[in-house]
Each structure stands twice: as C-alpha cells, then as structure tokens.
Amino acid sequence: MSCYFFGIYISMPAIHQYGCSVSLGEEANTCYGRIAADHYGYDFVQHSESSASNPWIALHFCETQDQIKSDDVVLFGWSHPSRNSWYNIHQQCWEHLNYIQQKNKGAALTQSVVDYVTNQHCEYLEDVHTWYPKQTVTDRCRLYNIKHMHINCVPYMVDLLLEDKDQYIADHLHPNDAGHNYIFHLIKNNLAAIIQQ
C-alpha cells in the first residue's frame, strides 16, 4: 500500500480492475481484484461498472489508460457478450443494457435497448463482443508494456460458482465474499506469474 516513509510519499504498484458487476463486487463486501491487491500489497483501483458490456470495458480502459503506471497490473473481468452500452447525451454518461432494463426503466435509451434486443442481438454480435474488445485491450497492453490478465467472469466464472451456489453466490447471482475469494484462488497462480514478469 502507498505510504509515507520518513516524510517521503512512497507509491506502491496498483491493480486496476475493469469489468461488470461481478468485478465490481456487487452483493459482496469485497471483490477478487481487491483481494488480489491486498494479497500482493498493491494499491487497488476499481474501474468496473454494473451491467457493463465488453465493448464499454475496452473503451473505458483506453480512456483511463493514462492512470496506469509501468509496474501496475490490469485485470479485465469480461462480461456476457450479449450486453451492449449506449452513450446518453442528455445525462452525459454511458448506460448499459441490464441497467436500463432492470434499474432504469423508462430511460431515454429504453427504445435503443428494445431495438438492440429485437433487431440487432444475434450469435454473430455475441461473437464480435467476445473477441474484439479482448483483442483491442491486448494489443494496447502489448504496445505499452502493460501487465494484464483476462478473466471470463460472465458466464464462465459465474457458471463455475453456481456449481456450489449456496457457498459462493448471493441473492441475485453475483459472487458473495466466499465467491470472490474462490475467484482469487482460481487466478492466483497465473496472476503471480504476471506480476513477477
């Protein structure tokens, strides 16, 4: 953790986490990224948003990449490829598919969601939302020598935790604290290898 040492501010490396509600730690007191940061003595920077789509995760990384220092590590917690995001010009912010559907019914972008679900969502688009955001951030991380790790949170990681739902899953299908500890357990060895590069 960052601290003062004899009056000099010492900045520690940070783990930056990008993703959706799973990476955010919705319905938990912590998240796997914070657990990892605490384990390695790193600072933690949360960039995730509830209901975020994979294209938005990649875009948000590109928009905030200047916050990442050379010894930092980035965790990309990928969301379900069916999700999409839209920019709301009236509120000057991004809104995501599930947020509009479940928490913001009647929003200015409700018609965009209906159009997307009715006329655009298909297997091809899910495939595109699976590979191109990952490829975008991978290429950018390689170009700028940023240590990073991909974690397929939704549906893969959530499906894995659902195998022991009572132990790892909270009420609305998000990982609970035990679930986030288990995710960290699953990524720990690969993450350690990335940190030691």
How far apart are alpha carbons 6 and 3 in whole angstroms? 10
For residue 98, is pLDDT > 80?
no
Whether residue 29 is predicted with pLDDT greater than 70 in this model: the reply is: yes
Q: Give the torsion sign (CA, 128, 160, 47, 12).
A: negative
What is the pLDDT confidence band of residue 100, given thresholds at 50, 70 and 90? low
User: Residue 189 belongs to what H/E stretch?
Assistant: helix 177-195
Type and span of the H or E element at 142: helix 123-143
The span from the CA of 19 to the CA of 47, in Å, is 7
d(CA 22, CA 57): 13
Question: What's the whole-number mean pLDDT along residues 18-44?
Answer: 97
Which token pair is 189? 């060895």
> Cα 161 to the chain's mean position, in Å?
17
User: Would you say residue 3 has pLDDT above 70?
Assistant: no
- The pLDDT, as a whole number, for residue 40 is 96
Interval 81-93: pLDDT, tens? 988 898 888 889 8
Domains within the chain, CATH numbers bracketed: 3-84+125-195 (3.40.50.1110), 85-120 (no CATH)
Report yes or no: 136 and 125 within 8 Å, Cβ to Cβ. Answer: no
For the chain, what percent of residues have pLDDT higher than 90? 71
Mean pLDDT estimate for the chain? 90
More confident residue, 185 or 173: 185
Listed range (2-6, 40-44, 115-119) with the worst mean pLDDT: 2-6
Q: Is the Cβ–Cβ distance between 197 and 49 less than 8 Å?
A: no
Is pLDDT at 99 greater than 70 in this prediction? no
Helix axes 32-40, 177-195, angle to 10 degrees: 50
The pair phi, psi for residue 121, each rounded to 5°, is: -60, 130
Token representation of residue 73: 């590590």
- Using the predicted structure, report yes or no on whether residue 65 has a pLDDT greater than 60: yes
Considering the entire predicted model, what is its pTM?
A: 0.90
Nearest to 52 by CA among 118, 110, 129: 129
Strand partners, 96: 85
Confidence at 175, pLDDT banded by 50, 70, 90: very high
Residue 138 burial (C-beta neighbours within 10 Å; 0-12, 13-18, 19+):
middle
